[in-house]
Every structure is written in C-alpha cells, then in structure tokens.
Amino acid sequence: MSSLSVRHLTKTFGALRALNDVSFDMVEGEVLGIIGPNGAGKTTLFNVMVGINVPDAGDVLFKGKSIKRLLPHQICRLGITKTSQIVHPFLTLTVRENVMVALMFGQNLGKKESQNKADEILEFLNITDVRNLPPSAISLPKRKRVELARAIGTGAEIILMDENLAGLNPKELEEGMEIIRALKRRGKMLVVVEHVMQAIMGVCERLIVLSHGEKIAEGIPSVVCNNERVVEAYLGAGTCSA
Amino acid sequence: MLLLLFPLLKPQGYYFRMFSMMFLWMGLSSAWNITSGFAGYIDFGAVAYFGIGNYATALLMTKAGLPFTSSVLISGILSSFIAMFIGRYTMRLRGAYFGIATLAFAEAVKQIVFEFDRTFKVTLFEGSHGITLPIVHDDRFFYYIFLGILFFIVLTAFLIDRNKFGYALKAIKEAEGSAELAGVNTRRYKVASYALSASLIGILGGVNAYWLTYISPLDVFSVIHTIHMIVMALFGGIGTVFGPVLGACVISLANELIGAKLLYTYLLMLGAILLVVVLFLPRGVIGLISMKRSRR
C-alpha cells in the first residue's frame, strides 16, 4: 500500500493554474525527485502537501486519511514536513535551539531531551561547530542544513526538500547527497525538488516532471530524462548523457 | 527583599504612593511584553484590558457587593476570556494590521463604556460621571499588593522565557511559517499569550480602581497608557524578562518627577526616548548591557 497518495490536485491563484490534475503515489522508504522549469508548480505542490495552501480540487491521502484541510502543524505531527527554498530560521535563537523547537513541538519532547536529540541531529548533519551561533552568523549552505535539521527534528517520516541542495559547491553537494542516502537508510521517505541534475540522478529512485502545473512524465530517472517532452520542456538535449 | 522591608522605615505616604505607582507600571509593561515582546504581536490596545479590569472590579464591588480580592480575580478572568475571543480574530493579522485592530478595539471599548448608559437609558457604567469606590486609607496595603502582583508577573515572564511556551512564542515572533512547519500550534500559543497578558493587565486594572477610588472612562481607557507600556518596554528591552521592569522603573520615575510640573516636557521626552531607542537601541538598555558584556 502506498503511504502517501496525491490525487488529482488542482490549485489556482487568480488566473494562474499552478497545479492541474497532478497525481502520484509514494511507497515506504522511497526517494522521489521532482523537476521542472521555474513556475512549474513544484513549490505549490509542496505547500499543498504540508497544508500551507488548500487545493481547489483533489486530495492528499496520508496512510489512507485525507489531510488537505489540516494545518501545517497538524500535518507535521502526523508525519509530513518540508524544508523551504527560502530559509526562515528563528534568528534570535541559536542553531541548536532552532532544532530544539522542532523536537519540542513536532515530537512533544521535554526541553532537556530535545537538547540532547538536537545535538545528535547536528552531529549527523556535520554542523556541530555552529550550534551555539544564531543562524544569522552562519553561511547560507549551513543555514540550509539547519533548515533540514529542523525538518528532521520534527520526527516526520516524509520530508519534502525544496531546493535544499541549491547553491552548494561540489564538495558540499556530495555531502548533501550522502545525507539524503543516510536519511533513506534511517527509514525516511524524501521528496526532492532540485534543479541540480547531478543530485537528482544521484539519489532519486523515481522522477516526476512538472511543467505548467501538469505532470508530463514519471518513471526511473534515466528513462525520464531522455523523454522527448521532458527534454523539450526543461532539460534541453544532452543533459542526461553523462 | 529591600522593597519588602522598606515600609518598616515608616516613610511618608507620598513614597508609598510613588512606589505603588512604579510597581503598577512595571507590572503593566511586563504583562504587555509577554504578547508583544515574546510573541512579537505588538499590542496597541492593551489599555482595553486595563480599563475592563478597572470597571469590572468597580462594578463588582459597588453593584454586586463582592469583596475586593474576588472582584479583582474575576476581572482578570473576564479580561482573559475577552482576549481569547478578540485574539482569535485579530491575531490572524500581523504587524501593523494587528496594531491597528487592537487600537480600534480599545477605542471601541472606551466608547461603549462612555456612551452605554446614555444610549440604553440605564445606570450601569455611569458614563462620564465615573464610578466612586469605597475608600481605603492604607497606603501600605496597596504597596504590598502591587509589589506582590509585580513579583508574580515577573516570575511568570521569567518562567515562560525558559520554558517550551517561551520557545513557541519566540519561534512565532521570528518566523511564524517555520514555527508551523516545526509542529508549533501557532494560533493556540499566540492567543494563549494574549489572554495571559490581558488577564495580568486586567488584575492590575482592578487593583488600580480600588487604589484610586474614582475611575472614569476617559482616564482608565486613555491611549496614553498603552503608549506608556510600549515605550517603557522598548526603552528597557522588548522581549527580555527584565527590560520592561527596568524601562518602567526609569520612565515612571521620570513621569513622577517631571510629568506633574512640566507635562509637555515629559511628553517630548517620551517621544525622544522612543526615537533614540528605535534608531540606536533596538534591544533597549538591557540589549546594550548584554552587548557590552559579550564584546569583552
């Protein structure tokens, strides 16, 4: 049985149809990639899945139950959260406290326990060195890592990653991909939105392509990215030959 | 400790009243700070709950014949219930819009209390006549009550600051969207903080009515009270536990020394403080002190 099922989602903003009848399923332990040109509806899809936006039509089923009318914090506690493309950390708190908030409220842990678990997560993500600094004092790649740490801290089974690997240098990118693989080994399901094809090809088991709010392709990465429509809409020729 | 022993020196009544007034303002500013400082929802209508507390206590004591303590406690509870209702709707707004909505609410309450009797041909709020309460000649009594409530409010703020509740409020202040995504029930926490602030302000209002023995709508609902709470908290350090206490201490003392004789000089000074704080000391005097310390 699929754990997450997105059914015929449609969302419009005024005259703009950001999502048009998008459907897909996810199975336990899967890493799913979503690609598509800017404005294709990737972020809107995420926002509908975590409850920031309510869809005009369609439904999102998690473990068989509809979650489309729930608020983000309710969906988070059920087990789905996201990391935002534009990070909004809690600036006056330290990095460690940022993660503690997720542990305290996402998993309902006490303060002490949250502190210990936060340190474990920061260690896992290799950002222990900045744990006592405010997020304003660290570099953007690390802030993106903090964003991911917060998502992990909520204990959600499904983490939607909105361009969490964008703007990284090759070494950081490799490290980021390794983290995604490690999260998968820990039993997390991940949905990765990314423009960096190297990352997508490296970690995703399945790929969905969106364009103008519609799903135009779905399948294993190597097949999908040679799909004629995908090449035309987004990738351009020769991207996947490597 | 020193403040507890102070009355043993048998000072003149004037000093009791001055200290009581300072405790009142420290309490109001600290209570305001829980919503506006911790959660970042700047409340421009806090005086509404001060006035509601004043009137609730006055009416309960004079019309219902209840004793002082229970009247004040009921005033606090009433304020928090009204705040829960108002907060549910106004706290969907953010920033300046929340400020405008709360300001409008406070003005509306003032007008209702002011015009209610004339409009409905009844004798309840007494309109512009105001209400006179039984007179108590015991400055020491009020000194200890205000000191006790102040202690309770600061302790509450101190505990919130170190607790999960405080983390929720600070997360809401910094990034409400991220807080939701991290599992924080943002609406519940912010409305809870607003109701808590309101109940503490309402309790202080109730004591104020009994202390002053005469209240009228234009006095106890005056927007200057809200402005005082804001400027005091900003000056001392908004969002900190002791900032509002410090700010209220300095400014209410200044009000006592200058305000009585040179009202306009005092108001100008308030404006100047506000400007300086906004431009140069965004974290208030407390922020300045901790910044100096961390530079060493």
Element spanning B294, H or E: helix B284-295
Q: Tell me whether residues A150 and B182 touch, CB distance under 8 A.
A: yes
- DSSP state at residue A93: S
Q: Tell me which chain B residue has its CA closest to the CA of residue A80.
A: B181
**pLDDT value at residue B273:** 85
Q: Which two tokens stand for residue B50?
A: 């001060």
β-strand partners of B215: B131
Give the strands of the sheet with A80-83, arranged side by side: A80-83, A158-162, A189-193, A31-35, A206-211, A214-219
Residues in chain B: 296
CB-nearest to A77 from B175, B178, B183 is B183
For A147-197, the pLDDT digits (tens) are 999 999 999 999 999 999 888 888 999 999 999 999 999 999 999 999 888
Q: Tell me whether residues A150 and B180 touch, CB distance under 8 A.
A: no
**pLDDT value at residue B206:** 96
Q: Label residue A240 by pLDDT band (50, 70, 90).
A: low
Cα dihedral A58/A60/A65/A66 (nearest 10): -50
Q: Are strands A57-62 and A65-66 parallel, antiparallel or unpaired?
A: antiparallel
How many Cβ pairs within 8 Å bridge chains A and B?
86
Residue A148 CA to chain centroid, in angstroms?
A: 9
Chain B residues within 8 A of A89 when measuring between CB atoms: 174-175, 178
Output the pTM of the full model: 0.90
Q: Tell me whether residues B170 and A71 touch, CB distance under 8 A.
A: no
Q: Tell me which chain B residue has its CA closest to the CA of residue A108.
A: B183
**DSSP 3-state assignment of A61?**
strand
Chain B residues within 8 A of A82 when measuring between CB atoms: 181
Q: How far is B84 from chain A (nearest CA, A)?
A: 20
pLDDT at A66 over 90: yes
∠ CA(B203), CA(B207), CA(B209), 5° rounding?
115
Q: Tell me whether residues B182 and A77 touch, CB distance under 8 A.
A: no
Query: For residue B4, which amino acid is it?
Result: L
Q: Tell me whether residues B183 and A88 touch, CB distance under 8 A.
A: no
Taking the Cβ of residue A152 and every Cβ of chain B, the question of whether any pair is shorter than 8 Å is answered with: no
Q: How far is A231 from chain B (nearest CA, A)?
A: 34
Q: Is B40 left (phi over 0), alpha (psi -120 to 50) or beta?
A: left
**pLDDT value at residue B163:** 93
Q: How far is B293 from chain A (nearest CA, A)?
A: 16
Domain residue ranges in chain B: 28-222
User: How many other CB atoms sit within 10 Å of the CB of residue B187?
Assistant: 17
Region A111-127: mean pLDDT is 95
User: How many other CB atoms sit within 10 Å of the CB of residue B155?
Assistant: 11
* ipTM score of complex: 0.89
Residue B239, phi then psi, degrees to nearest 5? 85, 0
Residues in chain A: 242
Q: What is the mean pLDDT of each run of 10 residues along chain B (296 residues)?
A: 69 84 96 96 96 96 92 97 96 93 96 90 85 86 93 96 95 94 95 97 96 93 93 92 94 85 83 86 83 65
Taking the Cβ of residue A188 and every Cβ of chain B, the question of whether any pair is shorter than 8 Å is answered with: no
Mean per-residue pLDDT over chain A, rounded: 91
**pLDDT value at residue B261:** 77
Which of B181, B190, B291 would best serve as a mutation to test chain A binding (most A beta carbons within 10 A)? B181
**DSSP 3-state assignment of B4?**
helix
Structural domains of chain A, with CATH: 1-26+41-70 (3.40.50.300), 79-201 (3.40.50.300), 205-242 (no CATH)
Q: Label residue A237 by pLDDT band (50, 70, 90).
A: low
Instruction: Give me the residues of A, 95-124, that contact B with CB < 8 A.
Output: 97, 100-102, 104-107, 110-111
Q: Tell me which chain A residue has its CA closest to the CA of residue B38.
A: A92
**pLDDT value at residue B295:** 58
Taking the Cβ of residue A72 and every Cβ of chain B, the question of whether any pair is shorter than 8 Å is answered with: yes
Chain B residues within 8 A of A76 when measuring between CB atoms: 180-183
**pLDDT value at residue B1:** 62
Instruction: Give me the residues of A, 36-65, that contact B with CB < 8 A.
Output: 50, 52
**pLDDT value at residue A242:** 44
DSSP for A149-217?
A: HHHHHTT-SEEEEESTTTT--HHHHHHHHHHHHHHHHTT-EEEEE-S-HHHHHHH-SEEEEEETTEEEE
Q: Tell me whether residues A90 and B179 touch, CB distance under 8 A.
A: yes
Q: Tell me whether residues B167 and A100 touch, CB distance under 8 A.
A: yes
C-alpha span between A124 and A151 (Å, rounded): 13
